């Protein structure tokens, strides 16, 4: 989890009044952050990755101003039209296609403020950029270079410049081989023929994104005007990071200017700090929170959370600031109402109805399946619902469109799993030192996209089992898969030969019940075994059990 140190002196300056350590320690947790450490003149907090706008003291102070009712409602920032232009060459499309920019003028920096900026930049690189894989940030001394700028791709040995923390000129190829940042992030550019570069009108290098900036544009205590560039593979991610950065700089006293980013087919004028517009039903908010707030009270709660409310009635028109990219659903707005109201004001109550408890049908089926698989000699494993795209699709040699995580905590978990088999194979890979045979199973949820669901996705109960030993084969695993269906009283099933990329041709079958596909069984393909670094044959099956639940 990301952390941030809040210094009493700086927070007092930003809030416009004196605050104490004790006061910050008491109030800050109600914003949804945890206190990690307390000193004589600071507190150290830990905040959730879904609030990257909390990556700076300025972001926390902005939220506190609303919560403490020092300044409520939508923060207003002015972005003046600027003269700086950046041209995007089509050569960057195959490697890193998107870039957005901004300019901040009139900053007064010292060593402490520069360190805060660097920490904020690194936090955003981690929280939004997925460790620079999706987006990366470059901050430059604007006065050291001459616009217009150019974002283009170069050959590995085509250009030389002095990167940060070095005193000799290097080519991009050399940077990836010997520079600490190059070694750390070269995986992002793996397989690229040419590398992205940002240069000024004289050919001076500002940046080699997403690896390292040039030493020429290093930000120092003498820097007053900053050029910001963010490159990435997803436009919405770099927009979000840019908006958080520039609004934090504005809170530091900087003046914001836009940059015209000229693509071959469009011109983006960035940053764009226009708020997004949402409708919130007061009745729905009260129902979810168990409150009886009037529209005016709901509006006040939202304004305390630095949201704007343009019209008040049973339906509120809510303006969400551009730096709050975590607001993705009406439930998020209702959560803001709860925080603005104050969790400490919520009174716990007993349910108004009395019911007799009964085991959930899904849990009942899951428990029965566990007993069956254990009876067959299998050991249960429990894996995360969060999963890795490469393992689930590239390793399994299949294609799919999973539910992706917008701001994953790490690159290891970037999707929600849509199958259990990759998880079981990974367990085998992590337990190669254990004796054979190994027989494991899992009963659990997979998540699939569903446009008709309220959240755009739904949960489905699956069962998967796998056997690994020197003679694991189709007949062995089919007998288990067939036994499961008999034990749960499914009579009208059919095993039919099929081809599946994850299984050996001729040793795989699909399973149908009343003509509907419910699963697959077979011997795992040698290439899949190699991807998971497995040395022995594996037989496996996986069932979608939704038809059982619907039958009941």
How large is the average pLDDT for residues 51-75? 95
- Which contiguous run of DSSP H or E holds residue 207? strand 205-208
Q: Where are the domains of the chain?
A: 3-67, 79-270, 276-345, 361-551
Exposure on the CB side of residue 124, measured as CA atoms within 13 A: 32
pLDDT, residue 413, reads 86
Per this entry, what is the length of the chain? 552
3-state secondary structure of 539: strand
Model-wide pTM > 0.85? no
Residue 185: which of 128, 136, 219 has the closest Cα?
A: 136
Does domain 276-345 correspond to CATH entry 2.60.40.10?
Answer: no
The Cα 532–Cα 442 span in angstroms is: 18
Question: pLDDT tens digit string along 392-417?
Answer: 999 999 998 899 887 676 678 889 99
pLDDT, residue 521, reads 97
Is 79-270 in the same CATH topology as 3-67? no
Class of domain 79-270 as given by CATH? alpha beta
CA dihedral 8, 11, 17, 21 (to 10 degrees): -30
Distances (CA, A) of 511 to 125, 372, 440, 503: 45, 19, 20, 14
Q: What percent of the chain has pLDDT over 90?
A: 81
Task: Please determine, for residue 274, whether its predicted confidence score (pLDDT) is greater than 70.
Answer: yes
The Cα 509–Cα 486 span in angstroms is: 17
> What is the DSSP secondary-structure string of 31-97?
GT-EEEEE-SSEEEEE--TT-GGGSSHHHHHHHHHHHTTSS-S-----EE--S-EEEEPGGGTTT--
| 262 CB burial (10 A radius; 0-12, 13-18, 19+) | middle
457-468/438-449 β-pairing: antiparallel
Question: pLDDT tens digit string along 489-528?
Answer: 888 899 999 999 999 999 999 999 988 899 999 999 999 9
482 φ/ψ angles, rounded to the nearest 5 degrees: -70, -40
- Which tops the pLDDT comparison, 172 or 348? 172
The CATH code of domain 3-67 reads: 3.30.56.10
Q: Which residue in the block uniquely carries the two structure tokens 């069962």? A: 463
- Which tops the pLDDT comparison, 356 or 305? 305
453 φ/ψ angles, rounded to the nearest 5 degrees: -75, 150
The Cα 57–Cα 60 span in angstroms is: 5
Whether 115 and 204 have beta carbons less than 8 Å apart is answered as no
The CATH code of domain 361-551 reads: 3.30.930.10
Exposure on the CB side of residue 443, measured as CA atoms within 13 A: 19
Question: Could you tell me the two tokens for 110?
Answer: 């010292």
Extended strands (E) in 355-437: 379-380, 386-387, 403-404, 415-416
The Cα 552–Cα 244 span in angstroms is: 50
How large is the average pLDDT for residues 106-125? 90
């Amino acid at each position: 989890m990301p952390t941030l140190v809040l210094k009493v002196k700086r927070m007092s300056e930003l809030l416009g009044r004196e605050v104490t350590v004790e006061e910050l320690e008491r109030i800050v947790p109600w914003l949804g952050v945890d206190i990690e450490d307390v000193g004589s003149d600071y507190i150290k907090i830990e905040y959730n990755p879904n609030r990257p706008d909390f990556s700076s003291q300025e972001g926390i102070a902005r939220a506190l101003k609303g919560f403490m009712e020092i300044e409520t409602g939508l923060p207003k920032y002015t972005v003046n039209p600027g003269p700086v232009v950046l041209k995007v060459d089509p050569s960057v499309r195959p490697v890193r296609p998107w870039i957005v920019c901004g300019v901040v003028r009139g900053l007064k920096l010292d060593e402490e403020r520069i360190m805060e900026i660097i920490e904020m930049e690194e936090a955003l690189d981690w929280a939004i950029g997925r460790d620079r894989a999706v987006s990366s940030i470059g901050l430059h001394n604007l006065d050291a270079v001459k616009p217009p700028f150019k974002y283009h791709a170069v050959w590995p040995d085509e250009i030389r410049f002095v990167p940060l923390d070095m005193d000799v000129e290097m080519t991009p190829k050399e940077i990836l081989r010997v520079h600490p940042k190059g070694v750390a992030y070269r995986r992002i550019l793996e397989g690229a023929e040419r590398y992205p570069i940002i240069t000024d009108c004289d050919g001076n290098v500002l940046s080699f994104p997403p690896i390292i900036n040039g030493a020429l544009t290093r930000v120092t205590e003498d820097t007053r005007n900053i050029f910001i560039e963010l490159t990435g593979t997803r436009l919405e991610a770099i927009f979000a990071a840019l908006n958080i950065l520039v609004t934090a700089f504005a809170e530091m006293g900087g003046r914001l200017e836009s940059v015209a980013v000229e693509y071959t087919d469009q011109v983006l004028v960035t940053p764009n700090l226009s708020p997004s517009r949402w409708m919130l039903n007061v009745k729905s908010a009260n129902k979810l929170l168990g409150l009886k707030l009037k529209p005016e009270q709901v509006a006040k709660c939202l304004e305390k959370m630095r949201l704007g409310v343009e019209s008040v009635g049973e339906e509120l028109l809510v303006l969400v600031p551009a730096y709050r990219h975590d607001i993705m659903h009406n439930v998020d707005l209702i959560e803001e109402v709860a925080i603005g109201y104050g969790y400490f004001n919520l009174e716990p109550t007993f349910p108004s109805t009395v019911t007799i408890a009964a085991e959930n049908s899904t849990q009942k089926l899951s428990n029965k399946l566990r007993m069956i698989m254990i009876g067959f000699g299998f050991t249960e494993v429990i894996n995360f619902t969060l999963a890795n795209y490469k393992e689930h699709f590239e390793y399994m040699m299949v294609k799919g469109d999973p539910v992706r995580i917008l701001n994953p905590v790490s690159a290891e978990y970037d999707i929600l799993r849509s199958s259990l088999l990759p998880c079981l194979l990974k367990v085998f890979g992590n337990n190669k030192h254990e004796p054979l045979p190994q027989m494991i199973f899992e009963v659990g949820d997979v998540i699939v996209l569903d446009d008709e669901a309220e959240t755009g996705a739904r949960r489905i109960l699956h069962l998967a089992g796998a056997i690994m030993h020197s003679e694991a084969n189709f007949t062995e695993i089919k007998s288990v898969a067939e036994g499961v269906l008999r034990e749960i009283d499914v009579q009208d099933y059919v095993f039919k030969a099929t081809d599946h990329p994850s299984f050996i041709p001729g040793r795989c079958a699909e399973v149908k019940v009343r003509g509907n596909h419910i699963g697959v069984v077979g011997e795992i393909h040698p290439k899949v075994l190699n991807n998971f670094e497995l040395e022995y044959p594996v037989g496996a099956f996986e069932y979608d059990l939704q038809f059982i639940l619907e039958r009941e």
